[in-house]
Structures are given as structure tokens and as C-alpha cells.
Structure 1
Amino acid sequence: MKIYHLHHSGFLIQFDDKTLIFDCFTHIPTSLLRKNIPHYFFVTHGHGDHYTADIFSMDRIYKPTYILSSDIPKVSTFQTHTMEPYQHMSLGGMDIRTFGSTDQGLSYYIATNQHRIFHAGDLNWWDWDTKLKPEIDPEQEEIDFKAEIEKMKNLPMEFAFVPVDPRLGDSFYKAGQYFIETFHPKVMIPMHFMDDFGIIKKFKDKIGNTETIIPEFNQRNVKIKNTWSEEI
């Protein structure tokens, strides 16, 4: 299993028999794509920092399949599946479950190749500064986030991709901390920070000691160093 950070909330995960691609809206280097290996594109919602229709131009030699949130129109001639929150589907050796979001679309929980992967999309504790967003109700944002987490609390979490958004100011860490304290995932990979890679170290410093591994990376299209096993 190899994990590559593409950009923002975009990640590419390689297994021997398949590649999973989450929330890609930038160009994927061809060096990360493998001919005649199935490539599964997961899109949590249609916001421009999570989705581009360019993913549908993927060459046939990469055997693309698309798993999309229902707010995204079907424009591909390849195999495409549309999902709503709280649905279940078996596909390509994967057990795929969807959950909700505290913004648009959904989040994905995937069991495959003996691993458990969660991608939150825009499921986040959106504790905005009310001076910046006076329409936000901070108490309701907390209630909504924790209620969604409660719906999946009995699921084993191994690899979790969770927003750590610097735009939230002093509250940037809340979703990640709550996720770690609730699920104790083996690995939590921060996302949704555009190119502010320094937020990863700030998050680790804020969280302090934890058994959950929080890998650091500092550029786009880079392989995340495997510090959690000797598999790679």
C-alpha cells in the first residue's frame, strides 16, 4: 500500500491490484498511474477544490471507474456509480459505505485489501470565527459534526483522511483531535489546507502525545513516507 498526496484533499492510494483516487481536482502525474490496473475515482462532492470534470478524460488503459456524490452530474462514458449518504456498495473487491458531511456531499468508508480507509471530504467541525462568518452558529456546528461521527463510531478506523483547515484559526485542530480521541486510528492524514503544509506540524504540536501516527509531508504529488509498517 502506497499513499500519495496530490493536493489539498486529493490522495492516491496504490494497491497491487488497484488504485484509489480521492477528491482530485489537479493534474495527476502519469508516473503515478499504472496501465491496465483499475483506477477508482472517489468524489465526495462537487466543490471546485474537490472535483473537476477533467477526471473523466482518463485514458481507457487505466481502466477508470467513478464513484460520485449525487450532486455531481454523470458525464462519463466509463462505469460510473452515484451514491447518497448512508448507502452501501460492493465493487472491485471493495466494501464501500457512505456517510454524511457537515457541508456538501458525503464521506467514504472503504474496506479493501485488508485495510480500512476513511475519507472525510468536507465533514469537518466548521468552528468559524463569527466575525468572519456571522451566519455561522458555532454550537450547531459542533452538534452537527459530533452527530455525524456518532453514526460511525463502531467502525474500525485504520487510515483516516481528516480536514485540518488553517482558515479556522485557533479551531483548526478540533475535528482532527476529536476524530483521534473517538476512533484512535492507526494513521491520521491531515488534509484540506491547500499548500499550507506547515499546519501539519502545528496540528501535531497541538495534539501532543498520541498513539495515532500523523505523517508529515511538504509538497504536492509526493509519496507519504510509511512510518507505520515495514510493508513498503
Structure 2
Amino acid sequence: MIEITYLFHSGFYVELEKSILIFDYFRDNCKKNRYKDCGQIKKEDLPDNKNIYIFVSHGHYDHYDKEIFTFNKENISYIFSNDIKPLDNFQNITYLGNDEEVNIKDINIKTFGSTDEGISFLVNVENFNIFHAGDLNWWHWEGENDKEKQEAKNNYFKEVSKLKGKVIDFAFFPVDPRLEDAYYYGGEYFIREVSPKVFIPMHFQDVYEITERFAEKMKDSKSEILKISTRGESLYRK
């Protein structure tokens, strides 16, 4: 059993038979009336009978919301990029850098780099391989010169090459509308080189239309491309 819920931006809640994974939780402001419609979670939403793993790919405000510490329960393990300043009053945090591997309770975690801050995660849990890219992307900014653009491209290609040949069931990956016409570069290349079974767009704030555009553009790929239309949406259940 697996159910994937979109929280907001790059945040996802993944529930399995024995485990819950929360990636890059970011609350942000939300004017909807119901809490869950805002893609937000409370401590009461987290069961005591499953292992809970909270991942933070890096310290940028839109990936690291300190509200996650209000969830503090005995069955929670926090997995942080080591660019985040250590917190002395929390003992259940594992800090990881690029190219590390660790087993925590029932899961295996391999880390990869980013083309911005922090790291990306490949998690093996209950026979699923789940990749969360964090800020790993082909950041092609129109305001940069040709040398900067080429360097960004090379760095991205180098990092993705480490993932070639790996089986990935679900990939959470940036499709950022701020990149304008280049919004799809990173995702398209990742799908071509890595071929995740299911590709889930992220890092688009509330510009949901970009997920429709990307799915249409990649409709002939072998990967299933999910579309997202609202916070708190259940995207996949099996």
C-alpha cells in the first residue's frame, strides 16, 4: 500500500503500510477554511503505530519549516541535509551530506547532490524506491551569461549521471515556472536518463498549470506524469 499526498511546493506526505515519509514540509500562508485543504499537517495527524521519517533537503525557507519540531514524537526520525545548523535539543536528527548511505530503522537512504543548496534523497522503503530531488535541477536562468548557464548544465548532468541505471518508482522533481521557457529542461532530461516509473512535479508554489503543461509535453514518455491541482490532494494510491 502507498498513498502520496501533495502538501505544498516541494512538500509531500507518503504513507505506506508501516511507515510515513514527509518531504520538505513548507506551511506557507493559506486562506482556505480547512486545515487539510492547505496541505498542512498537525501532530494529531501522525499515527503512533508507524515509523515516521521527516526529510529536509536543505535549509531554504521553502523547504525547511521549523513547525516540524512541533510534531516531535518518539516514533519520528528527522533526516536533514548537513547545511542546516545542528540543533542541540533534538537527539533524533540524522545529518547527511552528499554521497552518503545510511539505514534508519526500516529504511535505506542514499544521498545525492544538489545544483543549489543541500542534497537529494533516494529512499528504499517497503519495496519502493522514492527519489526526492530537493533543489537538484537544471537551473537555466535567463539573467545569467553563457558561461554560467553552461556550468549549471554541466553540474546537473554530472549529478544525474549518478542515478542512471537505478530503479526509481516515484520521483519528486522541480518543474519551476520561474525558469520561463526552460521550466521543463531538468525534468525532461531526468526522465530521459533515469526513467522513473512515476514522475511527480514540484517546486512550483501554487502555479498548478505548470504541471498540466509538463504532462502534456511529456505525454509520450515511458514515465507516468502526475498532474497536481490543489494543496492536500491525494495524487496516487495503490
Same fold (TM over 0.5): yes
Gaps of 5+ in 1: none
Matches within 5 A, 1:85-164: 85-130=98-143, 133=144, 137-164=148-175
Tell me the residue number matched to 2:207: 196
The C-alpha deviation readout for 1:158-204, integer Å capped at 9, x for no partner, is: 11011000000000001111111111111000000000011001111
CA drift of 1:57 comes to 1.6
Distance 1:192 1:135 in 2: 25
CA drift of 1:211 comes to 2.0
Tell me the residue number matched to 2:37: none
The answer (yes or no) to whether the contact 1:5–1:221 under 8 Å persists in 2 is yes
CA drift of 1:14 comes to 0.4
Distance 1:136 1:2 in 2: 42
Matching residue within 39, 54, 73 for 2:85: 73
Distance 1:144 1:59 in 2: 36
TM, length-normalised to structure 2: 0.89
In 2 relative to 1, CA 176–32 (structure 1 residues): closer, same or farther, beyond 3 Å? farther
Q: Which runs of 4+ in 1 moved over 4 A?
A: 29-32, 133-136
Distance 2:60 2:147 in 1: 19
The answer (yes or no) to whether the contact 2:9–2:204 under 8 Å persists in 1 is yes
The answer (yes or no) to whether the contact 1:125–1:142 under 8 Å persists in 2 is yes
Tell me the residue number matched to 2:63: 50
| Aligned-partner residue type, residue 218 of structure 2 | I
The answer (yes or no) to whether the contact 1:67–1:82 under 8 Å persists in 2 is yes
Tell me the residue number matched to 1:4: 5
TM, length-normalised to structure 1: 0.91
The answer (yes or no) to whether the contact 1:119–1:160 under 8 Å persists in 2 is yes
Please provide the CA RMSD for this pair. Answer: 1.7
Task: Give the percent of matched residue pairs that are identical in Structure 1 and Structure 2.
Answer: 37
The C-alpha deviation readout for 1:43-84, integer Å capped at 9, x for no partner, is: 1000000002221121426x2110000011233534110000
The answer (yes or no) to whether the contact 2:43–2:70 under 8 Å persists in 1 is no
Distance 2:45 2:171 in 1: 21
Matches within 5 A, 1:216-227: 216-226=227-237
Tell me the residue number matched to 1:23: 24
